[in-house]
């Protein structure tokens, strides 16, 4: 039930719970689990429905996105050119009109090494978590731990093996997300599961029992078809993971089993309840769900990103989420979650939304690639790809980023670019924002993370008619001119055209808690022979 307010809306939710849970360690794996065939990549046609419109309509929108948009065109003298000093032979990096020039290069890499190589799944869905001594990386559907020099320290057989004690029979896992909870020294693993017959959908959640990512995990399977305690005919796709001092937040896009987008949903878990653990039928965990989320303009919200929060401990702080409008818009929706653990104190949390005006964004075109012919790299849509909340004194900012379209004057078609935003949370306004790209180049799947000094790091993919799909990074110092990023640097070059399936669906990024100044990113690049590969990269200002 929704109450409309002048600039915000308040959403009510409902509690839910599940019995069970298990403890799982790599030492528990049987010979059969270790030797089992990898999970099948075959998916129901419903898995092609990842957007809030039918696939046919989405394909038409993407085709139209290649055309120059009149509103994005600007006279030549309005462009501020930002030189990419990484390689003089490359085209310069540029910020679209109204953005200022930023001198300097991307932050220097302090470590860079190969990640997980291609599995049977496309796309990989890269996600990363960084602890004091280890880095944990995951794709569909593998999970590997490294030390910070790139030495592999452990590897689960796959996510199916990890969650086997609580995984419903016949369910298929997809879309992993990882996080390191720097407040509690715990590792968080989240992944979706779906079954076509009989129909079912679950959000699986694991938390490490100690600070050791190679040790035991408490694991649960929670019914994703339930909205609170109310049954629905919908399944969860594209889980998004956030956390703060009190709770773990998982938001999803809900689709009908019969096809079609239904609504966005947020599920709140109590960290203390999860970290205490428990197993067996006598063990119960609870959650609070909000569903049917709508933007202030009453359109359906889509891909609502919960933030990873960096703030002081104590009290009962608010949590924040954010989303863009689909497929285009000139505002973001900022969600404020008050009293997140209200369920556990005899009350209820409150979720409100407010529109934050920003520069316009539009559905990005598919990315041209070297030797790709007519096959373009999928850049998906304008959904926000991650969110970071940082509180430093009275300064409370939320950073987020996504892919958009931009028409460069004189270019032959529209290109995909990185757009990023820093939102001043108390005032619900944009503190700064920017767009980043270059003529003839396509930029896609950006992720953003700040360090303790409010310097920002951005990682993304890039391709062009003379470039294979590859992994790049850039950033900005807190003292750089507002609205600008520094010239980007290549993390690793692509090796061949990639025509075998979707790219993405996301890259990973995380702050290193050992110094709070190093940021790790995890991204995809095109390997040899039409394969995907992944790379881990650390950078520091």
pLDDT tens digits, 25-36: 998 888 777 777
Dmax (CA) of the chain:
69
Mean per-residue pLDDT for 154-178? 95
What is the average pLDDT score of the chain? 90
Ranges assigned E (strand) in 426-507: 429-436, 441-450, 456-464, 467-476, 489-492
pLDDT on residue 282: 84
Please report which confidence band the pLDDT of residue 6 belongs to, taking 50, 70 and 90 as the band edges: very low
d(CA 222, CA 218): 13
Query: For residue 353, is pLDDT > 90?
Result: yes
**Residue for token pair 């850049």:** 379
pLDDT category at 530 given cuts 50, 70, 90 is very high
238-251 residue pLDDT tens = 999 999 999 999 99
Does residue 452 register a pLDDT over 80? yes
Query: What's the mean pLDDT in 82-91?
Result: 37
Residue 393, pLDDT score: 81
pLDDT of 40 above 90: no
Q: What is the mean pLDDT of residues 323-338?
A: 98
CA dihedral 74, 297, 259, 240 (to 10 degrees): 80
Look at residue 50 in the predicted model and tell me its pLDDT.
82
Examine the pLDDT at 144 and tell me if it is beyond 80.
Answer: yes
pLDDT of 450 > 50? The answer is yes
The pLDDT score that the predictor gives to residue 184 is: 98
pLDDT in tens, 89-142: 333 344 444 333 234 578 989 999 999 999 988 999 999 999 999 999 999 999
For the segment 179-208, the average pLDDT, to the nearest whole number, is 97
**Residue 48: is its pLDDT beyond 80?**
no
Given a cut of 80, whether residue 148 has pLDDT beyond it is: yes
Cβ-contact 541, 474 below 8 angstroms = no
Q: Kindly state the DSSP code that residue 31 receives in the 8-state scheme.
A: H
**pLDDT in the model for residue 7:** 53
């Amino acid at each position: 039930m929704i109450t409309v307010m002048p600039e915000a809306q308040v959403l009510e939710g409902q509690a839910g719970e599940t019995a069970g849970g298990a403890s799982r360690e790599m030492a528990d794996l049987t010979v059969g689990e270790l030797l089992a065939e990898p999970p099948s990549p075959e998916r129901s046609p419903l898995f092609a429905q990842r957007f809030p419109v039918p696939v046919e309509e989405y394909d038409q929108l993407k085709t139209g996105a290649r055309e120059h948009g009149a509103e994005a065109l600007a006279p030549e003298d309005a462009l501020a050119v930002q030189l990419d000093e990484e390689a003089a032979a490359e085209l310069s990096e540029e910020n679209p009109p109204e953005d200022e020039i930023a001198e300097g290069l991307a932050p220097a890499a302090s470590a860079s090494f190969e990640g997980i190589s291609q599995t049977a799944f496309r796309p990989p869905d890269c996600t990363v978590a960084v602890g004091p001594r280890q880095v944990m990386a995951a794709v569909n559907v593998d999970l590997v731990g490294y030390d910070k020099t790139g030495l592999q320290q452990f590897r689960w057989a796959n996510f199916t093996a990890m969650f086997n004690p609580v995984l419903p029979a016949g369910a298929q896992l997809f879309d992993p997300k990882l996080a390191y909870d720097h407040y509690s020294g715990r590792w968080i693993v989240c992944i979706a599961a779906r079954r076509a017959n009989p129909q079912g959908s679950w959000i699986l959640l694991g938390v490490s029992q100690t600070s050791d990512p190679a040790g035991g995990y408490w694991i649960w399977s929670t019914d994703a078809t339930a909205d609170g305690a109310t049954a629905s005919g919908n399944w969860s796709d594209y889980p998004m993971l956030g956390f703060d001092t009190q709770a773990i937040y998982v938001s999803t896009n809900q689709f009908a089993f019969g096809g079609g987008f239904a609504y966005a949903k947020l599920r709140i878990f109590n960290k203390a309840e999860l970290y205490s653990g428990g197993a067996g039928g006598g063990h119960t965990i609870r959650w609070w769900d909000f569903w049917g989320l709508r933007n202030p303009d009453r359109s359906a919200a889509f891909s609502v990103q919960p933030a990873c929060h960096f703030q002081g401990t104590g009290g009962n702080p608010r949590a924040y989420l954010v989303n863009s409008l689909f497929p285009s818009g000139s505002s973001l929706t900022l969600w404020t979650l008050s009293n997140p653990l209200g369920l556990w104190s005899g009350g209820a949390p409150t979720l409100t939304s407010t529109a934050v005006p920003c520069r316009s964004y539009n559905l990005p075109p598919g990315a041209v690639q070297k030797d790709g012919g007519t096959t373009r790299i999928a850049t998906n849509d304008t959904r926000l790809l991650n969110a970071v909340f940082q509180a430093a004194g009275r300064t409370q900012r939320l950073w987020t980023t996504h892919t958009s379209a931009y028409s460069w004057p004189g270019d032959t078609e529209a290109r995909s670019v990185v757009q990023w935003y820093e939102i001043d949370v108390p005032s619900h306004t944009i503190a700064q924002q920017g767009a980043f790209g270059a003529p003839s180049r396509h930029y896609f799947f950006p992720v953003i993370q700040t360090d303790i000094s409010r310097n920002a790091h951005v990682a993304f993919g890039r391709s062009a008619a003379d470039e294979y799909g590859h992994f790049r990074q850039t950033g900005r110092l807190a003292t750089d001119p507002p609205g600008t990023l520094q010239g980007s640097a290549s993390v690793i070059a692509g090796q061949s055209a990639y025509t075998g399936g979707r790219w993405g669906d996301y890259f990973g990024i995380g702050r290193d808690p050992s110094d709070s100044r190093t940021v790790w990113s995890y991204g995809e690049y095109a390997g040899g022979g039409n394969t995907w590969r992944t790379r881990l990269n650390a950078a520091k200002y």
